[in-house]
Chain A
Amino acid sequence: MEEKVMLVHGGGGKQTSELIHEVFAKRFRNLYLTEDDAAILPPPASNIAFTTDGFIVSPWKFPGGNIGKLSICGTVNDISCMGARPKYLSCAFVIEEGFPVKSLEEIADAMALTAREAGVSIVAGDTKVAGHGQVDGVFITTTGIGERLPGAHPSGKSARPGDAVIVSGDVGRHGCTILLARGEYGIDAEVTSDCAPLWGMASSVFDVCRDVHVLRDATRGGVGTVLHEIAGQSGVGIRLDASAVPVDPAVAGVCGMLGLEPLYLACEGRLVIFVPKEDAEAVVAELKKSPYGENAAVIGEVTPDEPGRVVMTTELGTQTVLPPPGGELLPRIC
């Protein structure tokens, strides 16, 4: 096989099937992935959750993962957050002409590994090649189907005063990793992405709490954006304890230097969970059993006052608001 992906690999002919077979099919192998035009799947046991997401991260590889792992985690986590067990995924690739086949294999390896961990089968796919410069490396779109657990009903509208607000780990790691990996700031720090498939952890939350009000995975806008969305959708206030928010010291250091708020940096492996206060302890204990949940913590509570706002108690004991998300992340210039 050639060392680099060429336009002809997307042409639909012999080279296309070679690329698909050698790079993808071999690795993704499962009962439902065939050479036919569509996968035929058994009927679901319950209501299905269905979602899609596109991934265009640059650089394609970063400490703690790559775009392949990310593309599986993103869709798996969206399904998981609806209280549904991820079952099947499709994936569509747009590959830049000249992209090394070795790198593509690395991406496919990560996808296969992550899918296996998450318990999903990749059952359909598509490969297109775009001319040099038309895309940046590889773009991946994944679409997924999951089966909802009976009785699960989490929703962004369901936060209630008295709920405890829980995060499943330290915040802002993925965003910080990508900022550093781009090398634009000339800062060095040991930070790895939190990118992880979360179904195992999410399902364990339903095991110990029958009444999970809200379950979200914090992605691009970070935990802060999720909190603002929920405060708005549920018409409640959220009170955070600033010193309870887990932040990796290296991430805190980088944020300090650049003037960024870790609550607004992207996560790719963190759940934000609202449950009735009395269940909070059990949920946190359960989260901590997961390899991705050792820093899980209650970071605040839902209040009836100040609907739509997120207020923080600072380490000085004073009150401040978490400003609503907005604008691009800009480095500080003074």
Chain B
Amino acid sequence: MSTAKSLPTWDVLSKHGVFPEANNEEISRLNFLTHLNVHLSANILPGVKTAYEKTVLPAYIKETGKEPTTRHEIRKAMLDNPYFQMWSGLRRNTMEMRQQAGRSQVLRQIENLVERVEAYNKDASTLQLNDAITIPPNVGMVDIHCQPGCYYEEYFENDVTVAASYDLGLFVTTAGLLGALSDGGGKAITHWLSKDHPDFKPKRILDIGCTVGHNAVPLAQAFPDAEVIAIDVARPSLRYAHARAKSLGVNNITFVQANAEDLSQYEDESFDFITTSMFWHETSHESMPKIFKTINRLLKKGGLTINLEQPQYTNMGLYEQFIRDWDTYFNNEPYWGPMHELDLKKVLNESGFNGESMFEVGVVSLIDEKIFGKREAGDSGEDYGRAPVWNAFGLWK
């Protein structure tokens, strides 16, 4: 007999200085959605696999005389399967409900949130917004992961709605695996560095596509003497990120509105550490080599770039590829699939790096005991696309 295990409540998240308040009903709603997501992946998703193996695959073989050879063939065959349809419909809808819940919670207190953000940001030289920066197509084409307004839309002056809603809602799709400050990825990088490269002490760090700074802050905390530059194109996210970092007592990050394709304001070889977190799958074929070239130009000899990203599809079973690819078509992540089938070494080579020196590593952060208490031995929270082990690739220049 298996006993049901309770999930952490959203309310364990750390309330930094610009975190939206939540009343009891809002907390109930976010907890309900978290439970619904876990239920869909733990209890319903296995049924999708069964439907594939027992019904869809045999029918496909019967009809075509061969096994599917691409994830796209599987997807097209699955689209008519009633169980896949129900799971997909529920999953899509849960994402939309999470967006509505976050936005309504943020909007009811937006005036107060903006005031709090302003109090931290007023006259700060460490927040550098630039009106001339436009939203590139890889960010503006669709609202990524069904987040209305994406990372950048502003509904009025000094708005931070989309950023605050993003911050409070990540928990719903990860059930706490990212930690109380949603910074597990960045912490995993610094944990790995302290273990495997204890002598690496970067003085100047660049974090590209920082959004609200979830994974830039732990870098700045791990290297308090370093100057960290965190860039993004999205103004509301940068405003919020800056205030959030200040409220956490982190003063060595400068948040800059800039396009990673053109960072000509920074000198060649002026950074010894360049990071991205869950960034590349939201870029494009056009921008990716440009940004790698920028990284190559900015990185010092002997410097390190490390990039947290979901694993590439190479060497992955077709069914798992198909499930991971769901977001590409059904969760407004159009570049997810194309990015994950790239030969990264080749992209690096074409961007001036020596692709052969690329390494891949699974980085792990310590479990956040604020959320989970002490972990039981043998526990694993594996879930497609949201595993607590972060896949990373990188290279030393």
- Do A and B come together as binding partners? no
Residues of B that sit less than 8 Å from A by CB: none
Residues of A that sit less than 8 Å from B by CB: none
